[in-house]
Structure 1
Amino acid sequence: MKILHTADWHIGKKLHKHDLSPDFDLFINWLCITIEKHGVEVLLVSGDIFDLANPSSEARKQYYRTLMQLKKLNCKLILTGGNHDSPAMLDAPKEILRELEMHVIGGLPQELEEVIIPLKGKNGEIEIVIAALPFLRDADLRTAGDAITYEDRLEAIRKGIQNTFAKTAHLCKEKYPGIPAIALGHLFAAGAETSESERDIQIGNQAAFNALQFGDYFNYIALGHIHKPQRVNAPVPAFYSGSPIPLSFSERKDEKRVLLINTEAGFIPESIPIPSSRRLLKLSGNLEELQLKLSGLEKHGALDSLLEVILEEDKYDADKIFRFDELVSGFNTPGFEIVKHRTNFVHKLQGASELYQNTVKLEDLSPAEVFLELIKKQDYDKDTYTELIGAFNELLEQVQYNENEESL
C-alpha cells in the first residue's frame, strides 16, 4: 500500500498580512497530480489543518474545496487536529466525511478505539491500521491536572503522551494482531529543529516529548507541528513531513516535501520535494546596499516574491530612517512585495529615560529640554540639527494648541 504523509497545512495563514491562500491552492494542485502519479491510496495529514481555531469563511471554503479535489482521486483521507485547530469545528461534519471515506479526528475522543482506522487493501483484507492521534491537550492528559509542582506537571504531560501512545499500540495489537500499524502524532519532540512560525505547545514547549518513549510497536510515526522537515530519534521510523509551504522567513531555505511510504518496500519514506511557488527573501545592508539589492531583483516562481528588508547602520540617523521609509513605500517592482521592514543600529539611540540615569526626573524637565539632550548625542551637521529643532517646535506648538482647544 502507498501512503503519503503531510502536515501543517495552516489554511488561512497570512504572512505579515499577506494572504497565502494562492500558495496552498498551488500545493494542492501539485499534490493531486503527485497522488495520481505514484498511485497513492492513503493520505495522512498530521494536524494544524487551519491556522486559526476559528477560521474565516474563505479558509473553510478552501478546506472543503480541497477535500472535494482529493475525493475525486479515490484516495482515502485521514486528517487529525493540531494545536491550532478547533476540535469541535473539525469534528462537526465527520459523520458525513466518513461516508466519503474521509476520516477526520479533531480532538481525542472519549473512547480511544475511535482513533484506530483499519484499511483494506485491493484484496479486501485489512492491510494496515492507522492510529490517528490528534494533538493531545492538557484535558486529555488527565494526570497533568493532579500535579502539584511545575516540574511534576511537565513530567505528567510527558507521561500522559507516552501512555496514550502505549494504550493505542495495545489496542492495535489486540484488535488487529500481526497487522502493520502507523500512528499519527502532533507534538514537540525533544531535539527537533523549530522555525519562527510554530506556536509553543504544552507549557511553552517545556514538556518536550522524548521520541524514545514512542515505543517500538508502530511501524511508522507520522508527525506534525514542526515545520522544518526532519527525522526524530525514535525506536521506529518517525518523521516530521514539515509544512508544505513556507510560513515564515525562517523557513525560506527549507526544502518543502511530502513523504511517500510504500509498505511493500518497508517503512522508510521517500522524500518528494514540493516545487516552490514563491520565494521569501531577506535583504539586509546599509541604505546604499539595499538600494542596489532592490534594483537587481530577478523574478522567480508563479507568485510574487515576498521580501523582508532590514536597514543596518552603525549609528542612529533620523535622515536615513526617513530615506529608508521612502525607499520601502516607493518600491514598486512587479513580481515582488515588501511585507516586513525594520532598522538595526549597532549604536542604538538612547531612550529619554536613559539619558539622565537617576540624577534627574523626566517630569521635572520640559519637552524641549529632553529633545535637545536627545539629539545632542547624535552626530548631525548644523543644517540637519537646525531643521530637527524647527520641526520639533512646530509639533510642540501644535500639541499645545490642541490641548488648549480641548480645555475650552
Structure 2
Amino acid sequence: MRVLHTSDWHVGRTFHGRDLLADQETVLTGLASLVERERVDVVVVAGDLYDRAVPSAESIDTCARVLSAIREAGARIVITPGNHDSAQRIGVFGAFAAAGGLHLRTKLSALDTPVVLDDVAFYGLPYLDPEPSRHALGVDGRGHAAVLGEAMRRVRADLRNRSGLGTMVLAHAFVTGGESCESERSIRVGGIDHVPGAVFDGVDYVALGHLHGAQKLAENLRYSGSPLAYSFSEARHRKQVLLVDIDSYGLHAVTQVELPVPRRLATLSGRLDDLLSDPRHADLEECFLSVAVTDEVRPLDLQRKLQERFPYAVHAEWRPDGGRAAAELRYADAVRGRSDHQIAAGFVHDVRGSAPTASESSLLEQAFREVETE
C-alpha cells in the first residue's frame, strides 16, 4: 500500500493579513495529481485541517473541493484533528463520510479502534488536550506525554488482538528532537510540551503533525510539515509530503516529494530610498517580504511606500543603523523631572528618530494649554 503523509493544512490561514485560500487550494488540489501519478491508496492528514476551530464558510468550501479532488483521484482519506481544529465539528458526520472513503478519527473513545484499509490498520489519535484528556482516559499524570502514553498503551493492547496487518499511527504532538518555528501555536502545558519518541514504539510508521518543517526523527517517525509556509521563519523550508510504502510486512520505504511554492518568502534590509530604487531587488517584487528599514529617522507611511514597489511587503520594521530602536526605559525613569511637553517631545523622538519641529512643538504646547483650560 502507498500512503501519502500530510499534515497542518491550516485551511483559512492568512499570512500577515493576506488571504491564502487561493494558494492553499492550488497546492492542496495538486495532491490529487500526485495521487494519480504515484498510485497513492490512502492520503492521511495528521491534524490541523483548518486554522481555527470555527472555520469560515469559504474555508470549508475550499477544503471540501480539495478532499473531493483527492477522493476522485482514487485515494481514500484518513483525518485526525489537531490543536487548531474542533474535533466535534470535523467529526460530526464521520459515520456517513466513511462510507464514501473519508475516515474522520475524532473521538477519544475510539482512538484504539483502527480504520483497516487493505492490509494496514490506521490508528488516528485526535489532538489530546492534556487536562480534559487525562480525565477522559483515566490518567493520573499530567502533560501531553502522559495522555499520549496512555493512548499508545491502548493502541498496543488492541494490536495484540490483530495479526497480518501493517500499522500506522496519526498523531499531533511536539516530539522531542523536533524543530519548531514561529507559525505553530504552543501546546505547552504545565511547562511540559515535548513527548519522547519512545511513546510510539511498537508500530510500523508514525505520521506526525504539528511542526511545520518536514523532519525525520527516526526512519518510521516523521513530520511531513505544512504544505505552505506560514511564517518568515519557514523561508528556507522545502515544503513536501511523504510517500510511505507499507504493508502487512511493515514499512518498506519513505520518499519525499517537494511541493510547489505559490509565492516565495524573503527578507530585505536597507535605507528606504535605496530599497525603492536599487534594480538588484527586482526579483523580490513578487515575494512575500519582511523588510527592515535602517534610516536614522523613521520614514512616514513606511508600509505604503514599500508597497509601491513591493506589493507583497507584508511586514516592515524600523531598525536604524547602529542598532538604536525605540528606547527600552522604565516608565518612571523616562518621565522623572520632565514636563508634559518634554515627555511628549521625547515620545516623538523615540518613535520617529528625530525631535519635533518648531511647528510641531507649537501644536503640542497649544494642546496642553487646551487640556489645562478644560
What TM-score, normalized to structure 1?
0.81
Aligned position for 2:206: 221
Indicate yes or no: 2:77 matched with 1:77: yes
Distance 2:346 2:108 in 1: 64
Q: Does 1:183 align with 2:169?
A: yes
Note if contact 2:8-2:47 (Cα within 8 Å) is conserved in structure 1.
yes
Q: Distance in 2 between matches of 1:69 and 1:63?
A: 10
2:11 paired with 1:27: no
For the pair 1:211 / 2:168, whether they are aligned, the reply is: no
Aligned to 1:137: 129
Asked whether the equivalents of residues 341 and 364 of structure 2 are also in contact (C-alpha less than 8 Å), the reply is: no
SS at match of 1:321: coil
Query: Which digits, 9 at most, give the CA deviation of each residue in 1:321-342, with x for residues without a partner?
Result: 125x3474363347x4111111
Question: For residues 269 and 388 of structure 1, do their structure 2 counterparts lie closer, same or farther at Cα, with a shift above 3 Å needed?
Answer: same
Secondary structure at the residue paired with 1:331?
A: helix
The equivalences for 1:2-401 within 5 A come to: 2-106=2-106, 108-114=107-113, 116-120=114-118, 127-138=119-130, 139-142=132-135, 153-154=142-143, 157-174=144-161, 176-203=162-189, 206-215=192-201, 217-233=202-218, 237-263=220-246, 266-292=251-277, 296-298=281-283, 304-312=286-294, 317=296, 320-323=297-300, 325-326=301-302, 328-329=304-305, 331-333=307-309, 336-345=311-320, 346-350=323-327, 357=333, 361=336, 365-371=338-344, 388-398=357-367, 401=370
- Once the two structures are aligned, what percentage of the paired residues are identical? 24
Pair 1:284–1:87, CA change in 2 (3 A):
same
Alpha-carbon distance in 2 for matches of 1:332, 1:92: 47
**Deviations for 1:22-54, whole angstroms, at most 9, x for unmatched residues?**
111111232111110000010011000000111
Cα offset for 1:76? 0.6
CA distance in 1, matches of 2:180, 2:294: 26
The CA distance in 2 between the partners of 1:298 and 1:203, in whole Å, is 43
Q: Give the whole-Å Cα distance in 2 for the aligned partners of 1:259 and 1:206.
A: 29
Letter of the 1:282 counterpart: T
Amino acid at match of 1:357: D
Unpaired runs of 5+ residues, structure 1, are 121-126
Shift of 1:389: 3.6
Classify 1:43/1:298 alpha carbon distance in 2 versus 1 (closer, same or farther; 3 Å). same
1:131 is paired with a residue whose SS is strand
Change (3 A) 1:44 1:245: same
| CA 1:222–1:342: 2 relative to 1, 3 Å | same
Once residues 84 and 396 of structure 1 are traced to their aligned partners in structure 2, the CA distance between those partners, rounded to angstroms, is 50
| Number of residue-to-residue matches in the alignment | 369
| Structure 1 pair 294–213 and aligned structure 2 pair: CA distance change class (3 A) | farther
| 8 Å Cα contact 2:91-2:104 kept in structure 1 | yes
Cα distance in 2 between the residues matched to 1:129 and 1:376 = 65
Structure 2: which 5+ runs fail to align?
Answer: none
Q: Secondary structure at the match of 1:221?
A: strand
Q: Based on CA coordinates, which of the two structures has the bigger radius of gyration? A: 1
Residue aligned with 1:63, SS: helix
> Alpha carbon RMSD of aligned pairs, Å?
3.1
The structural deviation recorded for 1:305 is 2.2
For the residue of structure 1 that corresponds to 2:308, the secondary structure is coil
1:105-124 Cα offsets, whole Å, 9 max, x none, are: 23x3324444x11112xxxx
Superimposed CA distance per residue, residues 285-337 of structure 1 (whole angstroms, 9 cap, x where no aligned partner): 3335433558732269xxx5211111235xxx4xx3125x3474363347x41
Which deviates further from its counterpart, 200-209 or 1-10? Answer: 200-209
Distance 1:91 1:288, change over 3 A: same
Q: Is the 8 A contact 2:167 2:205 kept in 1?
A: yes
User: CA 1:180 to 1:297, structure 2 compared with 1: closer, same or farther past 3 Å?
Assistant: same
| Secondary structure at 1:161 match in 2 | helix
TM normalised by structure 2 equals 0.88
Secondary structure in structure 1 of the residue aligned to 2:12: coil
Secondary structure in 1 aligned to 2:333? coil
